[in-house]
Each structure stands twice: as structure tokens, then as C-alpha cells.
Structure 1
Amino acid sequence: MYKEIPPYSIANQQLSLQQKVGQLFMLAVFINDTEEAIQEMEQIIQKHHIGALCFFHSRASAATNFEGKKPVVHNEKSYDRLKDLIARYQNAAKYPLLIAMDAEWGLAMRIENTPQYPYAITLGAIQNNDELIFEVGQQIGLDCREAGIHWNLAPVVDINSNPENPVIGYRSFGDDKVQVCAKAEAYVKGMKSAGILNSIKHFPGHGDTATDSHLGLPVIDKSLSELKENELFPFQELIQKGVDSVMVGHLLLPQLDDKEPSTTSFKIITELLRKEMGFEGVIISDALNMHAVSRKYPEKGKLEATVFAAGMDMLCFSENPLEGIEIISNTVSENRIEESFKRIWQLKETIFVKEKNVQRNSTENVSQLNKVLAQNTITELYADSELVQQIKDSSFLNLSLDVEEKNIFSKHLEEAYGQKKWELTTHLSTVKKKLNTHQNVVLALFPPAVKPKNQFGFDAELLAFIQQLIAEKNVLIYLFGNPYVLDILKLTSGSNVVEVYQDFVEFQEEAFLHFKGASIAQGRLPIKLKITQP
């Protein structure tokens, strides 16, 4: 399938110094790119001996379109396009490329019509069953292998201790360091069983910030002892147990380095991560196009050279690879270049010499796994169980905030209990009239967005109405989304919520069984909310 890869001892002699530097670059490529851009990338790969590629959906996707001004055009055949492009780019390379992707919750993070698994925050709700998380990691690994992806830049091991975090949040397993570590370990082991490389991120910890590093530079003003107590804990534990790579995030930690952000900090990358914490594997940068660092280096190639000098091995999403290769080749010692080259080449040997036979999973198997995950994650946050039963037994008002075609939960309630479904966006005036004769309400919430920006996308008027509804009526909420949404609902001491986490069909079906009393909620909220829950 792949071109033959020589062992390191031979490759070290075959490649020139500049070609070795090319192996340290992971360039961004786009599934829905133009033919002109694809041909240009083929030439760069061939001429400059690029070592790795990271696939994104398109140049308008979230990872590259930070301000969200460019519309994302969906392509129903993205998966086939991905496989075709991987074959083309591999054919252009003299030595096999490592193909990477952010597939934290599966290929669906980047590609339409591919299996999607729950977010990390959902998996964080699982109690005493890390085997399930192992299975998620394994299934994602198998999906990656089938597609031609070798390196899943996951999992996130940031401890999400800041509810306002705009970029981590739902991507974290929670706010408890021990649970984050245990669940990340299970996920890593699952991927490894499928022959997929991993990358724990975002070192030294991106959880306690309200700044998005795609747009600005977050500041984590904590001492090393404070970081060791919390943020660094999962990294240190997992390093000792064995991981392929650590991704360094774009963070300013003034008590560790008051001049350089973590990406360009020798103190943080080399002295802390490499020497003090003893990590001997590949250190990879977070995307170098992110504004937290890219805006500081207008001179082409200077950022790449600075990052490498700080101790980085693999430079991800370099926007100026040719200049970067040139500067590094001319300014860095041969020994330093060969240290990183050896680490990258050993990853390639792991993938291309020790390949595993992989069989594609059927959609039915993915669906069955998601069903089991739903059974193990749905979480009750009840103040009054008797009131909950009273609501269920009454002629409750069946309300929802949803995208019509996605909400089967409320439709099931209508069919089973005879309570017509009323969607708030389209029937708000009617709902307000009906509330005059209804004290009990079942409210299914499908948040418009998964990130906290702009109140998770809620319309201000509708959010105010929901808050008033919660204050004045007996409301049982089923939330099919990020649990941090609960912080903006102004819940009272008597509020009753079932957190379902995902809007997948399997999760909605399980939520309906839970409503009927045919399923027991087994999950536990993996975060602390700003509100006080009984």
C-alpha cells in the first residue's frame, strides 16, 4: 500500500539535512480544496520532503476560518475525496507521509457522513466503566485506519475548570484531574489497539481560560506548583504510561516564562516537558496559523524557526514551510535537527513497518455502541423526584427548542402521551396562551451551538422566556447538549433536569425510555456548574 520506508539508520544517511528538516513539517491540507491548490501541495511535498499532513474540511472550516465570516460548503462525498487525496499526496512523497487529523469524536469532526461518537464531556459522565471509553478510542482508531489516517491528534487532556472556556469545554472529559486522566488513558489505549498514533493536548493545560487561542493569547497566571497540582497532572501521568506525542498549546504562563508563550518557550518545552517531566516522544505544536502566535511573527519562517529552537519536533499547520525549512537548516545545529528527525522517523516506522490489518466497522456497530454510551451517560439532576413523577403523570405541556427534523424525543412524547409538541421558535405566542392552563411542562432543549459564545446561540427573547418559565412553572428539562448550558438558564433550587449530552438518535431514544421509567440514568455530571445543584 505504501512506498517502502528504510530503517532510521539508513534514512539518516540517505536524507540531506534540509530534507530531514522537511520531515519535521506537518502541513495543512483541505479535503475540499481546488485542483490548483492540490497540485501546488503535491509539488511542495515532492520538492521539500514534507513529513506529514493534517487534513481539514475546507479553508472555510472552523479550524482555519476563525472569525466565521466564510460560509462552509458541505460536500456529501468528502470521505471519498479524503481517500483520493491521501493517495495522491502519498504518491507525490518519496517517503510515506504521516497523515493526521483532529478526530476527537471521530472522523465526523472534519468529514460529513462518517461515524460520530460522543464528545469527551459526555464520556466524562460514564461511571466505573472505562472499558466503554477504550471501545470508543478503538472504534475511532479503526475508522481512521480505514480512511488512511495514522495520527489522531487526540485526546484533549485539559481539565476544564473554567465554564466560560470558549475552545475546550465539551472537548474535555471534565474538571476532575483524576477522572480526566483515567478516561484519557482508556481512550489512548483504545486507539493504540487499532494501531493509531495519539497526541495528548494542549500542554501545559488550556482548561482554565476564557480566551480562544485561535484569536488571542490566553494567560494562565499560575505557579509551577499550582500547575503540577492540577493542569500538569494528566500530562505527567500519561507520559509515564506511554504516549506517542504531546501537543503544546498557545498559552502565556508568566510565572514560568514572562517573555515567551508556551509554543516558543524553551523553558516550557525543553526544560519543563522534555527534561523535568521526562517526555522522550514527539512534541508537536498546535496549529501555527492560530492568531495567538502567528500575528507576533510577520517575517515568513521566523515563527517556525523560533518554535523549533524552543524544542518542538513537529511543526503543525505551518503557513510558511519553505522559509521555515530554509532558516532552520541554516541556523540550527545538525545534532538538534537529527534529534527531532529520529523521533519523527521512529513514528513512521511504528506505522509503516508494523501495520495492522483493519476491518471497517458497520454503521450498525457504531449505532449499537452509541446506544450503550447513552445508557451509561444520561444524568439526572433532580431537586424533587416526586415532582418529576407528578409532571410525568400529568397533562404536561410538551415544549421544545429544536431543529424540527432532529427532535424525535418530543415526537415520541406526543405519540405516547397525547401531548402535542410545541416548538418555541415557531409557536411562542400559542405557548404563552397555553401556559395559562398548564402548570407542568416538559421542555426538550436542543441548544443552537455547542460553544458558549453568544449564550450558546440562544435568541435573547427565547432565553428570557425559558428562564421565566423555569421560575414560574413546574418544568422538567431534557437537555440534549453541552451541560454548561445549564449555567445560563437561571435554574432554581427546585429545578429538575435530565442531562442527555448528545442529540444523536440513540441518545434521544434512550432519553425517551428514561422518561417512561424503562431506563435508569447511570451518568454523573463531570463538571461543576456555576449554579448550586442540590
Structure 2
Amino acid sequence: MNKHQKIAQCFSPAAFIHDSEENYQAIDRLIIEQEIGGLTFFHSRHSAAANFEKRAESLDTEDTFEKLIGLINRYQALSRIPLLISIDGEYGLAMRIEKTPQYPFAITLGALKKDPEKWVEEVGYRMGMDMKRSGIHLNLAPCADVNTNPNNPVIGYRSFGDDPEKVAKLSFAAYTGMKKAGIGAFLKHFPGHGDTAVDSHLGLPILEKTKAELEAEELFPFQYGIDRGVEMIMVGHLAVPALTGGKDIPASISRALITDLLKEEMGFQGLVISDALNMKAVANMYPEPGELEWQAFHAGNDILCFSDHVKDGIEKISQKASDEHVEVVFQKIMDLKKRLGLLDFEPIEVPIFDWESHSQLQKELAENYVSVISGEIKSAELQTLAREGKLGFQEFFTQNPSRFSQDIKLEFSPIEQAEKVIITVFVASHKPLNQFGMDQEVLDEIKALAKSKPCILVHFGNPLALMHLRNLEDFEAVVCAYQGFEETQEVMAKTLQGL
């Protein structure tokens, strides 16, 4: 293979499942003419990374999964060397593809009370198996970010928590589970995106901390993983001046950070992948097509994700990179392809998921993470009030009556007659934009109700959204369910009934 062909193996541009035939053919040409090494699949252009906070919460598009399998087979048939197929599926295929198994968010798994590492590894294994059966080789997950900023617009629910040691152990457990399933996984977003206030899809976050502070928090989970043999890390688009000689340069294109710190000082020997190169934090820095790709490669990235300028990038890297550097990176990618069994690719059939097993796992996880975070649940008292016609019930932010209201075996009375009220809040969005999608008028109504009589708050969704209910002491008790899954609602109903 010539130098151009070897460099092309570094490129993993975006492929959209729901797209035009013209755009599918453009990918065909990239595979045939440029001989790219991989593809990173997204649901649609509307939901791609650059539009992260603006996209619809759910896009009702039929047959996404079947289309994905068809495209993987189509593109693999065109490639001389089988493609590395990647997806960003932090909570499973369902993050990008409808009607596929969804697993709990990282923040939910961070709330597991018993054997958390064992359970997180099992979740990683299950989602990894879903992907392997679907022809996907790399999951661009898990997050090893320590989410110490509750107003972080982009990490939040994607992090295992705000404690570096917990994040280190659980992100490594998730990574281990995916590796056990036979796919590649990445700790991300090095050097740590958890204490930022800017979304790197939209702008450049700058983390003003000393190196010592970074080592104690942001860098800790990555060093933990490196010391235990983690083979892949994704570098984020955030500036950390303390690590780059005082410059506000994105980590993803910083040689001081990737080569000097990550590889040499921290001892990482594996593959480095860039975060999506179309993200606004870096995309507008180099107007000349191909220059950003060169900067990312020169900094030490081995795989270039979501490049919008593949041909120009290959050309620019070919002109500027040494033959030795290209050869080292090429061998790392080919070794990965061999290790993951790509070179024996056969067309794949649409897999059938074991939904019963998945539901059982969800139930077992919910029994482990559903938590009374303040106050106390007095189940016997609730049953007495219900018999006497003095227990009220009110749901907020639900379109239809929830499974929870069916599962709880208590008789409810009108709020006006009630001495005590169970309030359920189904958080509208897992992202913090616009108060997690919760209308202020409704939030004020919940707060007023809590002040008027004893209330138990049952919170389905991102626990970070609780900040918008202000004083939790206004509630007699607060129970956090973290997710709105049917299985979680069933477990929550039993919790209130003391079952």
C-alpha cells in the first residue's frame, strides 16, 4: 500500500442512516476512491453531533435499524479492506437507533448501591453484544468525565458522577464489558470534560485548573484505565491552558497534550481517536480544507472522526507527515482490525433482540438504583390514608397516564381532600437546556403544592433536574428513579408500597 492508502485508514467520516441516495453514493465514492478505513454512523443529519442541543428529543423515523444493517453491508461490499464501523452509543444502540435496546444512562448506573462494577460491566457487555451482532466494531464510549459542574451543558447524565474514583472504576467496568463482547471501546473525553460550562459542539470550553488539580480529578479516571491496560481513548475539544503552555488550544489538536502528556507522561500505548472534527470548537479554526485533519494527526490522533474534508486531509497529511509516523499509525489500525475480526467480514442479517432478557436486566438494575434521597417512605401510613380517602396523586410532565399510576395499588382521592400527596415528575429532557425541558409555571405549581400539604416527590429522570425544584426539604420525602423505563416505574411503585 502507498502512503495515501495508509493515511486513508485513519479516516472515519460520518455516515447518516437516514439520508438521500445522492449522499449514500458520496460515501460509496469515499470508500472506492479514497479507500477510507472506517465510518461513524449517525441517525440523520438533523441529529448529528454538531446539532446536539438543537435536535428533537426523538425523531420518529421508521426502519432505522434495518437501514443501518443494509448500509453496513452495502459499504463493506465496496471496501477493499473491511471498514471499522463505529457508533456513539453511550446507552446502547438506542442512542442513535429506534426500536433497539436502551440501557440506563451513566448517571443512573452511578447510583447503583450493590456491586456497581459488576453490574456496569454486565451493561457494557450487553450493549457490546447488541453492537457486535449488528456489524458495529467500535462504540465511542464510555465517558470517563467527572461531572463536577451541575450546569455542564453537554456531559451531565453521560457521566457516572462527580467522584473521580467512582468514575474511574465504573468507566473502566463499562469498557471491560464492551471489550468482553468483542468490540472496541474508548474512554472519553480526555483530558476530562466534566467541569466545563460550554458545549464543545457549539464552542470551545476552557478549563482553568492547575496541573495538580487536573491530576486529582479530570485525569484520574484516564490514568486509572491506562494503568489497567485500556487500549483506546478519545480526546475532546476543550482547552486546558495548564497542560498546553498557557495556550487556549483544543486538546484534540494539541501535540503537547496528546503526545507529550497522554502518550509519554501518562504511558498510554494504544489508539487515540479525535472527537468529531465537525464540532464548532475546532471546525472553524482552519478554513483551509485538510489543515484541521493534519493538525489532529500531527497532535497524535490515530483515527480522525467525522472529518468533512477527507480527500484534502489525506493529501495534507501525506505532504507533511513522515513515512515513519504514517507507518506506525497504519499498523495500529490494521492490528485493531485483525484483533476485532474485521478481516473475515461476512454480510450480516438483521439481528433479533431478546427483549425478555433485556427487561429482566432493566428490572434488576432498577431495584439496585431506585433511591430514597431524603426523608422516609412510610408505606403503612400511605395505605391507611388511601383506605380513608386522604391520599392524593398528581403526575407532572407526562403526556399520558404513566405505567407507575397503573402499578401502584393504592386508591387516590382528589387533591383537595387529601392529607398527603404523591407527586410524580417525569423530567421532559435529560439535557439541561431550558430547565431540562420543564416549564417554570408547572415547577411553581409543584413547589406551591409541596408547601400546602405533606408531599412525597417521585422523580423520574436526570437527578440534576432536582435543582429546579429548589428546596427539597419542602417535600416529606424525595425518591429518585433516574429513568422513566416501565421496569423502573414498576420498581418505584413497589418501593412506595413497601413490597
Normalising by structure 2, we get a TM-score of 0.94
Q: Trace 1:200-279 onto structure 2 (pairs within 5 A).
A: 200-257=187-244, 258-259=246-247, 260-279=249-268
What residue identity is the alignment partner of 2:439? D
CA spacing shift, 1:44–1:155, aligned 2, 3 Å: same
Q: Does 1:185 align with 2:182?
A: no
Q: Secondary structure at the match of 2:73?
A: helix
What residue identity is the alignment partner of 1:376? N
Per the alignment, residue 78 of structure 2 pairs with 92
Asked if 2 retains the 8 angstrom alpha-carbon contact of 1:160 and 1:172, the reply is yes
Per the alignment, residue 431 of structure 2 pairs with 451
Per the alignment, residue 381 of structure 1 pairs with 373
Per the alignment, residue 530 of structure 1 pairs with none
- After TM superposition, give the deviation of residue 68 of structure 1 in Å: 2.0
Per the alignment, residue 120 of structure 1 pairs with 106
Q: Trace 1:272-291 onto structure 2 (pairs within 5 A).
A: 272-291=261-280
What residue identity is the alignment partner of 2:422? V
Cα RMSD of the aligned pairs, angstroms, is: 2.1
Instruction: Tell me which of 288, 300, 325 is aligned to 1:299.
Output: 288
- After TM superposition, give the deviation of residue 471 of structure 1 in Å: 2.9
- After TM superposition, give the deviation of residue 66 of structure 1 in Å: 4.0
Per the alignment, residue 338 of structure 1 pairs with 327
Normalising by structure 1, we get a TM-score of 0.88
Per the alignment, residue 39 of structure 1 pairs with 25
CA spacing shift, 1:72–1:509, aligned 2, 3 Å: closer
Per the alignment, residue 308 of structure 1 pairs with 297
Asked if 2 retains the 8 angstrom alpha-carbon contact of 1:447 and 1:480, the reply is yes
- After TM superposition, give the deviation of residue 184 of structure 1 in Å: 1.5
Q: Trace 1:143-182 onto structure 2 (pairs within 5 A).
A: 143-182=130-169
CA spacing shift, 1:34–1:182, aligned 2, 3 Å: same
Q: Trace 1:341-420 onto structure 2 (pairs within 5 A).
A: 341-352=330-341, 361-385=353-377, 390-391=381-382, 393-394=384-385, 395-405=390-400, 407-413=402-408, 416-419=409-412
> 2:52, 2:132 → 1: CA distance?
29
Per the alignment, residue 11 of structure 1 pairs with none
Q: Secondary structure at the match of 1:108?
A: helix
**Runs of 5+ unmatched residues, structure 2:** none
C-alpha distance after superposition, 1:157-186 (max 9, x if no partner): 101111001111111111111111111122
Asked if 2 retains the 8 angstrom alpha-carbon contact of 1:106 and 1:116, the reply is yes
CA spacing shift, 1:127–1:384, aligned 2, 3 Å: closer
C-alpha distance after superposition, 1:385-413 (max 9, x if no partner): 55x76455422211001333461102333
Give the percent of matched residue pairs that are identical in Structure 1 and Structure 2: 44
Instruction: Tell me which of 481, 493, 499 is aligned to 1:512.
Output: 493
Per the alignment, residue 472 of structure 1 pairs with 452
Asked if 1 retains the 8 angstrom alpha-carbon contact of 2:450 and 2:474, the reply is no
> 1:403, 1:355 → 2: CA distance?
48
Greater CA deviation, 331-340 or 356-365? 356-365
Asked if 2 retains the 8 angstrom alpha-carbon contact of 1:396 and 1:419, the reply is yes
Q: Does 1:25 align with 2:11?
A: yes
Per the alignment, residue 428 of structure 1 pairs with none
Q: Does 1:461 align with 2:475?
A: no
CA spacing shift, 1:392–1:121, aligned 2, 3 Å: farther
CA spacing shift, 1:406–1:301, aligned 2, 3 Å: farther
Greater CA deviation, 78-87 or 346-355? 346-355
**Runs of 5+ unmatched residues, structure 1:** 1-14, 421-433, 519-534
Asked if 2 retains the 8 angstrom alpha-carbon contact of 1:213 and 1:290, the reply is yes
C-alpha distance after superposition, 1:121-147 (max 9, x if no partner): 111111241221111111101100111
Asked if 2 retains the 8 angstrom alpha-carbon contact of 1:120 and 1:172, the reply is yes
C-alpha distance after superposition, 1:7-26 (max 9, x if no partner): xxxxxxxx110111100011
Q: Does 1:317 align with 2:306?
A: yes
CA spacing shift, 1:417–1:67, aligned 2, 3 Å: closer
Asked if 1 retains the 8 angstrom alpha-carbon contact of 2:9 and 2:38, the reply is yes
